[in-house]
Every structure is written in C-alpha cells, then in structure tokens.
Amino acid sequence: MNSKELQERYAAGERDFCAINLVQANLSGINLSGVNLSRADLSGANLSRADLSGAKLRCAGLEKANLTDAKLHRANLGRAKLAGANLSGADLRAANFKGGDLAEVDWKDAEVWGTVMPDGRVVS
C-alpha cells in the first residue's frame, strides 16, 4: 500500500491498517485520527504535522520517523519502536509509550503532560 491508497481508504471510512508497510512514506499533514496502525512499519516515514490523535500504534515500527509537530494526543504507542524518531513540538498529551523503545528520541518542545512512559511512569 502507498500513502495515496491509505488516504483514499481512510477517507472512505476504513480505519484498520494493521501491519501495513509504509517505510519512508510521505504522510506529512495527513489526518489519520483514530486509525489502527498496530504493527505497521513506518520506519523513516515523514509524519510531520500529521493528526494521529487517538491512533492505535501498538508495536509499530517508527524508527527514525519524523513526527515533528504531530498530534498524538491519547495515541496508544505501547511497545512501539521509536528509536531515533523526531517528536519535537509533538502533542503527546496522554499518549501511552509503555514498553516502547524511545532511545535517542528528540523531545524538544513536545507536550508530554499525562504521557505514560516506557517504564509505566506518568509525566505530570
């Protein structure tokens, strides 16, 4: 599947895109709120300014993904792999990263109130 097909299917009402491969896809500015991308491979993808509010991204591969200024409010990223990802300026309020890999993530200016960290600690 490519980014255009994903957008078309999402616009048609589909929300379940488990385990799809969108490595290095350009999804900048896309609205995918409430989508299920669990186990999807989004390594190196450009998701800057994307709306992923309430998205399910459990066990997703997001290594080195660009999530600058993305909306991930209440997103479930449990056990997701985000090593080297850019989350600067992202809205991560109440997002769940429990069990995830956040090595070398850029958090600059990210909103993290209520975020569940990999160790289960909640940021207040």
Give the chain's domains with CATH numbers: 1-123 (2.160.20.80)
- % residues pLDDT > 70 (the chain): 100
Contact 80, 101 (CB under 8 A): yes
User: Per-residue pLDDT tens for 84-122?
Assistant: 999 999 999 999 999 999 999 999 999 999 999 999 999
Helix and strand element counts for the chain (H, E)? 1, 0
Instruction: Please report the pLDDT score of residue 83 as a whole number.
Output: 99
Asked whether 75 and 54 are in contact (CB, 8 A), the reply is yes
Mean pLDDT throughout 53-66?
99
The pLDDT value given to residue 57: 99
Amino acid present at 107:
W
Distance in angstroms between the alpha carbons of the first and the last residue of the chain:
39
Mean pLDDT for all residues in the chain: 98
Distance CA 44, CA 89 (A): 18
